[in-house]
Chains A and B, each alone.
Chain A
């Protein structure tokens, strides 16, 4: 199954540390999205790429967050100087155009 894969699935870190998540989208998809989901809430949009271009960023994405998609394939989401409020599930999704998004299983971040 060549679905969307995310790594790591779970990261536990201490406050102030940097963390990086990786997403490998479905290979033929040119759009890639990052969402964040906290317990009891629906996913919230963070940012998206079309090929290697980052086209939109949410106001939720503070300057401690940075996302890249250097060759239009995989993407990374880095969080610097983590805070306890960053604890959440980080979801990656991809699509080939408007409409259905294919989501990965997510990367759960716990900040102690």
Chain B
């Protein structure tokens, strides 16, 4: 069965420092991987996806993610965090049927302090 794990409930970083939000996955076949962000009282917003190709994927708001097949990871990164990046981040995997049926991790709260 497909699954996604986000090992950290919360990540704290200082503004201007690099940030990493971790995600590991378990799928059969080639994974379709996604990151979404949820701001308070707002809907989930798409950040980026990995389907195939370059292992480093660039997305919205300066975020990027690195696909590592050997470690089955898809960590979200940003070189310089902003206070406005503080939100709830979800990693997700398509269940390989390419239907948009996503399996989400439990989420990681990112807190960026000034």
Q: Hey, which bits of chain A sit against chain B, CB under 8 A?
A: 3-4, 31, 33, 40-45, 48, 55-56, 91, 93, 95, 98-106
Most chain A Cβ neighbours within 10 Å, of B46, B92, B100, B107: B100
Instruction: Annotate B14-25 by CB proximity to A: 1 below 8 A, 0 otherwise.
Output: 000000000000
Q: Give me 16 other A-B pairs in contact (C-beta within 8 A), A42-B92, A98-B100 excluded.
A: A42-B106, A42-B107, A43-B44, A43-B102, A45-B101, A45-B103, A48-B101, A56-B99, A93-B44, A98-B99, A99-B100, A100-B34, A100-B46, A103-B45, A105-B41, A105-B43
| Contact A45 to B41, CB < 8 A, known contacts A98-B94, A99-B51 | no
Chain A residues contacting B106 (CB-CB under 8 Å) are: 40-42
Query: Which residue of the partner chain B has the closest CB to A4?
Result: B43
Query: Which residue of the partner chain, among B49, B98, B105, contacts A100 with CB atoms under 8 Å?
Result: B49
**A43 contacts B90, CB within 8 Å?**
yes
The smallest C-beta distance from B2 to any residue of chain A, in angstroms, reads 11
Expressed in whole angstroms, the minimum distance between the Cβ of B106 and any Cβ of chain A is: 5
Q: Is the interface of B mostly helix, strand, loop or mixed?
A: strand
Do A45 and B98 touch (CB < 8 A)? no
Residues 85-101 of chain B, each 1 if its beta carbon lies under 8 Å from chain A, else 0: 00000101010001111
B97 CB to nearest chain A CB (Å)? 9
The listed residue (A43, A44, A101, A105) touching B100 by CB distance below 8 A is A101
A-B contact pairs, 27 of them (CB 8 A): A4-B43, A40-B106, A40-B107, A42-B92, A42-B104, A42-B105, A42-B106, A43-B90, A43-B104, A44-B104, A48-B100, A48-B101, A55-B99, A56-B99, A91-B43, A91-B44, A93-B44, A95-B100, A98-B100, A99-B49, A100-B46, A100-B49, A101-B46, A101-B100, A102-B46, A103-B43, A104-B43
